[in-house]
Every structure is written in structure tokens, then in C-alpha cells.
Structure 1
Amino acid sequence: MSADPVLFRDLAYVFIAAVVGGALAWIARQPLVLGYVVGGLLISPFTPGPSLSDVHSFELFAEIGVVLLMFSVGIEFSLRDLHRVRWVALLGAPLAVLLTIGLGAGTGAALGWPPLQGLMVGIVISVSSTMVLARLLMERGELHSRHGRVLIGISLVEDLAAVVLMVVTPELGSLETKRLLGLGAALGKSALILVPFWYLSSKVFPPLMTRAAQTRSSELFLLFALAVGLGTAAATQAMGLSVALGAFLAGLLINESDYAHEILARLLSLRDAFVALFFVTVGVLIDVRSVLSNLPLLATMVALVVVGKLVLRAAVVWALGQPLSTSLLVGTGLAQIGEFSFVLVQVARSAGHISQDVYQTTLAASLITILLNAALFRAMESWVGKLGLGGRRHRKELAVERAGLRDHVVLCGFGRVGSAIGEALESFGIRYLVIELDPDVIKGLAARGVPCLFGDAGHGRILEHAGVDRAALAVVTVPEADRARLAVQGLRRLRPDLPILARFHDAASRDGLLRAGADELIQPETEAAATLIRHALRRLELPQERVLAYLGRFRGAMERAQANAGAAEALPAVEEVVMGSGPLADQTLGEARVRERFGVTVVAITKARGPVLHNPTADTVLRTGDRVRVFGLPDQLASFRREAGG
């Protein structure tokens, strides 16, 4: 059997474009989805350079990406998360979707569009990108904040709404009796399929999945899950319904089992590969010339998404009893379109409801709104924190007992790390004040009588209200590097002599915090490593004094590495140095003052005529020919090597 060289060349183009676009998006700290679409533009027939020969074949491949995406959405669909914000999500999301569809139809009528085009534009922009939203919240550490929970709850219901819209969109058209009957038939089929669906989910699939799991074969287990997903999608397609609906229902089948997490973990890599292929194909289909010739339409769609959706979502959430701050953040997070809009616009194009110009403009509008969303969300969060928009009825809850606070600790951020520090301070009777952006956290602290402020710790006015001029210490635990750096800068500007502790995760954030004025930096990963080392060595029943000595060297090296971060990027290392006849020969370690003079730690000494001395004492004599293992930074090791005469 001979392989088609053109097909494999095109397949290589697609995945190379995905890697290049994804890497560019990662460097620019943008969603990977955006990078995949940009990668597709690079190999599009409408742009110079290499291009795909048979785009239609890859459109078929991309359908697998849609199926796997909807399958995984069904597996991940969390009724528990939905229950926590059920009223806002269950009432607010459908209402917001309907209002957005109405906004699209009304705008189309005002601009003279055909009625069906305005309706389709409203449908396409009515749902937001769950992938973009989840990534944004996870990166900012706000997935479990109040606005994070509301956003996720609404996006889950919007996912359901997208499935429904995929079913009804092909039947929409002129409001003739035949069309209405077709729409009723589609909804009836969707309802009818739920009867065998629930029977299969409760009676048939659980024992089959148990049998598949009992084989202890990861290949069979994954193949069984794929058979369920693709088989259900094929069944719904055979009934004249969307494959996306079948894939979503199959995911719900898996979701009800005990094996959902395992299946999802095995499915993710395959799903991500095909989803990347889907978005690259979307980029391939964008005709830049068509988009440029329809700039008024593009500007209208971007305005509908960024301004229209933001205002409508924020108004709906606020009307359902959420604080204004939460409402604005939710509206901003949902002011974008992504993967479900791509699928919906393809369904609308296949049904002949929209022109090629509208299709191309929708793809371009999704790129622009995704690009704008992260920056807009940061700006909105900063603005909300600066103005303290918590709603009048929440002002009392967010009030703080600042009068009389002196020699207290200002704690910026009260997540898992910040709350643990707060508990320790309470245990020792030390007063502290919390600055936090999550209204739920502030409400709980106020109820306990803990002084607290709602707002962004990066704003000077918030820090002034926190009594920084009278504080004894500031601890910055916010996970986002930019916000942490701004908080440290603000603290240092108000109090040049205030001790400031901060957490960091990588070299870039560490350097930024040091430049901002932090006195001491703590990396959670380093502390976790030290704890694991201690427990591991104790489990191996090694002597406690040796364990503590090693941990002391480990922590000392990490602290020295952080202290010298501004001068050198190198990491500490262990090096063996052979003692020569230099100044250190015939001196004890105590007399040579190795640690004080060079900053290195002697780990072991292999004597020229004798045993290996681990963790040598201060009385150990350095002799010519001894092999000394030392631990330190490269410049420290070089200085010791010169003096040792090696």
C-alpha cells in the first residue's frame, strides 16, 4: 500500500504550523488557540508561502477535533461546580444568550442586514470560549474566587446552550410552517435520544466500563472510551442531529462513572492534538483579503462581542444579586468568542444561512477578541480594585478595623498560602490586615473580625488605608507575578524601611520582585523540595544530624542563589577540588573559614591516604592531595579553587 506523499506533506505542514503558532502564543503569553489559528494563516492558500493542497480533507479531520472537544467537555461537566452558583448560572446564562442573540438581530436590522444574517451573528457570538476562560483564570490563580466560580458556572451552561444551538441552527430560516416543523422535529429527536441515553448510562455502560478497567490494559481502556464517544456521535448524526450533541452525551455517560478522571487523563493528549488541527484548519480557511474588504462588518462584530457582551453579561449578573465588582469581571471574562463560535459558524455556513464574508469575518473577530480579552480583564480587575466597586450593600462587609492598628503585618493575598500565614500569625497573637480581591474571602474575614480591605494591593491608596506607614512587616502572597511586583513597588514607595517578604515561581518573577524592593523571596517549590528531601531521608533511617546538615546546605545554597540573582543567572553546583600547596593547605576548616570567605559548603573530603569524610567537622585538616567536594555558585567555586591551589 503506497502512501499519498501530498497528504503527509500537508499533515506535516499542519503540525509544524501548530508548533510555530503555539510557541509564538506561549512567548507572547496568549492562549494557544490564538497561536494555532495564526499558524493556520501561515499555511493558508490565501497567504504567500507554503500552503495546503487539499483543505477539504483537513476539514474532515478537524471534525474529529470537534467530537473529541465536546466529548471531553461532557466528561468534565461538573454539576457540583454548577450547583454552587446555580441561580446565577442557570438563570443568567440562558438569559444572556437570548439577549445576545437579540442584540445581534437588532443590530443587523438597524444596519440593513438580511434578518437571518443578524440572527446567525447573534447566535455565533452568544457563547464564549471555555478554553480561553479557564486558562485565564488558572494563570491568574482565580479559578476558585467568586467571579471565577460564576464565570465557570455560566460557561458550563453556555456549553449546554451551544449544544442546543448546534441542533436548532440548521433548521432556522424563513419562518415557514415547514421550517417550524423541522425545528420541532430536531428538538423532539434531541429529547427522544435522552431516553435510551439515561438507560445506557445507568444499566449498560457501567458494567462494560468495569470490564474494560479490569483488563488493566491502558490501550483497551482508551479504545473503549473512544468507541463510546465516536459511536454515540455517529448515532446522533444518523438521526439527523449534530455529532457534537452525540459526543457531549457520550462524555456525560463517562462523567457518571468512577473512571471519568482516568479516561480524561488518557484522552487529553489525543484531544489536544486534534483540537490543534481543528484550529489550524480554521486559520487556513481565513481569507485575509475578504476580511479586509469587510472591515465595517468586522468592526461591528468586534464591538458586539467586546462591548455588547460585556455590558449584557455584567447587567444580568448584577441583576441576579452579585456585587458590581464581580459582575464587571464576569462580563469582561465572557467578552470573547472561540471554539464553540467556530463550530456554530461552520454549522450556519453548511446550512446556507450566512455568506462567505460573514464566515470569514467571524473567524477574524474571534482572533481579535481573544487577543483583547486577557488585557481587558487585567485592566478591569485593576480598575475595580482601585475604585473599590463592591456594591453599597457589601460596603459594611468589606469594612475594616484599621483604627489603632500599629506594628501589624500587611498580608497581600489570602489564598492557600496567605491563609496559612494568617493562621500562624493568629496563633502567636500578632495582628494583621489582609488585602484581597475576592469578595467572599473579605466577607468571611470581616465576619471573624479580621481587619481586611477589598482591592488590589498594587494601588497606593489601598496600601495607605492598610496602614503601611505603621506596619512591622509586609508579606506578598498573590500568585500573579505582575500584581505581586506592583504590590512590592507600592509598599517600598510608601515605606522604604519596611521588611517585605514575597513568593515567586520562576527566575523572571524573582528578578522583578528583587528590583521592586523585596527583602526576602520564598519559592514554594524549593520549600516543597526541602520537605520531601527531609521526609525521604528520614524514611531511609539516615542519621538526623546528617539530614539536618544536608538541608542546611541545601537551603543555604538556594538563599545564596537568590541573593546573587541580580548578578548571575547560574545555579549552584557541587564540584570536586584537589588541594594543592596553596594558602589553605594544612589548615583546619575552622581556621580556613571556608564558608565565611568563599560562601561554599564543604560536603565531603576524600583524604589522600584515608577514608571519605562526609560532613567534615571544623577540626578537619586540609592536606595537599585531598579531594574536597564543595557546594556553591560558580563564582564562589572558582574563588575557592584559586585559593586551594587546584
Structure 2
Amino acid sequence: MPVTRTSESYRRRSLLSGVPQGAAALRRVAVALAGLVAVTVFGTVGYMLLGLSFIEALYQTVFTVATVGYSEVYERTAAAEIFTIILIVIGVGTVLYNLGVLVEAVTEGHLREYLWRRKMDTSIEQLRDHLIVCGYGRVGRASTANLVDRGHQVVVIDSDAERLAGIEVPFVVGDASSDDVLRAAGIDRARALICALDTDAATTYATLSARALRPDLVIISRARTIDSKAKLVLAGATRAVNPQLIGGRRMASFALYADVAEFLDEVMHDDDIEHRIEGVRLGNRSPLVGRTVAGVDVPGLCGATLLAVRKPRKGEFVPTPAGEMVLEAGATLIVFGTPDQVDRLRGEAGTLAS
């Protein structure tokens, strides 16, 4: 059945307002069934007061309300006939209302939509250490595809239901700056959040909301202009990224250093390449803290190559660090190796990925 533009617009508005039509349809079904039960109880009690047994009264009520038209099981008195007329008027109206509500819920898909949404919400509630992508435009779509290809669990937030049609990852339709929407996406259990909304203002509001809910969350925000990068960091972004600036720099790198740029591009983004450049951050209780680079011997420890060390609290990078350099808590080891080698280093360091 084709959906008119009016009904589709109404459906989107009701999703964004937080009152899905599916929930309203389920409530109408519940009210209708409650009315049917009330009429059945009313009829059964009434016939019992007229002298029928419970089974006889229930039987008489059911076929009267259902308009089946079997012969009466009661003695035909004026009181019984008046009560039956009242029951028919009330009962038939209730049955017709029930049929109308059920047909509407099934044919318009509201009930199916509600049950599907509940299933989606349940799947999101079970996620742990996932990533949230706010905005499913070109940048959000590319980020989601890359994360999924690398085996990560992703939840997408977007205010436009049409953008999310056919998406294969869990999603929430709503305003990414809303605390309720962020909680529905599981922000309290998320590993990181990528914010790439249509405007810098929307991205800033969503970043502020996410940072207020999770002070420790890694938040990567897309900046449409260079000037907005600093503002997004002030709003709480761990890092603000300008895709145009990065794209321009990469194009220049390919023009000047094609082989180097292509190698780094494949290492960072090509799933067919086994080796990766990854970071391992040292926690306060890591056994590597306080030891020298030479004493740790990363290649001998796990087989990976140590490229650089970043000092704590987003400090400077030290490429090819000297052997006598002492590793501090909060420092990040930038290594080049296979996933197994990096996992062994994390195991030795007792840390998670940076």
C-alpha cells in the first residue's frame, strides 16, 4: 500500500516528538481489549443475577455479544430481555471497535513498527563498548561503514527517518542534542561518539550534551570551518576534525609523496593489509610505567615496531624515542604491527587501545 506524503510526514513528526504511532496503536488495542473484557464480565454477572450458572451466563454473554444468534439458555422474562437488549447495544459496539482498532493497527503497520522498535531498543541496551555516530550524512555514512568493516558495533542517530531507511546497524531517530536520545543510543556504555551533523551549531549542541552526560567519553566532532574547530573543543570535543582540510592535505601529500601517502592510506584503511598503526596507552598501574624504552624492548616483547611515543595529557610526539627515555603513566605507544602483536603489547601493558 503506497504511503501518502501526508501520512509519511506525520509518521516522522511523531517519531521525532518521542510518541511513536506504534505505541499509541498498542494503547488503543489494550483499551479495546479491556473494554471487551469489561463487557464480558458485565454480561456474565448480569445473567448470573438472573439465575444462570457461571458457565451458562458466560456462554450466553459470548454468543450474544458476538451476534451468533443461538437460542437463549435463560427463561424469557421481561427483565432478561431488557438486559439482553442492553448487552447487545453495548457489546456489539465494543466488538466492532475492537475489530476496527486491530485492522487499523495491522494494515497501517503501527503495531509492527512498535514491536520492531522495541526489538531495536533491546538490541541497543545489550551493546557495550560501541560507537555512536550522530548524523548519517556523507561523513557519518563513511564513518559508519569504516567502523562496521573493522568489526565494531555502531549505533546511528539522525533526525531524518528517510536517511536511515534500509540501514543495517541499530539506530535512533531523534535530535542528537537531546539527553533522552543520547541515552537511548547507549551513551553511558559507549566507547566513543562521532558527531557529524548538518551544521556546526547542531554539532556544538550535541557535543555539549554528550560531554555533560559522559565527561570521560571520547568525542570526535566534525567542523565545517576552520574557525569552528576551537569552539568545538571548548564545547567538549576530544578532537575537532575538518574533512575539507584533511582532504586537501592528503591530496597534497599524494601529489608530493605518492608512495608514502599511499602506504599510510592502505595501512590505516585497507582491511586486506594485515599490519596496522595503532596506539597503546599506558595506565597508572601498567607494569611498563617507569621503565625505559630500551628496557621495555617493544619488538622483542610482542614483535611490533615502536614508531613514536606521545607524552601524557596529549603532549608532544617523540618519534623513534631514545632508549633511555622513561615511559610515564598516560603516555601512548604508537606501534606498527599486526593485530595479534598489538594485542600482545596491550596484554603486557595491561591497557586498552588509545
**Shorter-chain TM-score: which interval?**
0.3 to 0.5
Q: TM-score, normalised by structure 1?
A: 0.25
Q: TM-score, normalised by structure 2?
A: 0.44
Richer in strand (by share): 2
Structure of larger gyration radius = 2
Task: Select the structure with the greater relative contact order (CA < 8 A; seq sep ≥ 6).
Answer: 1
Richer in helix (by share): 1
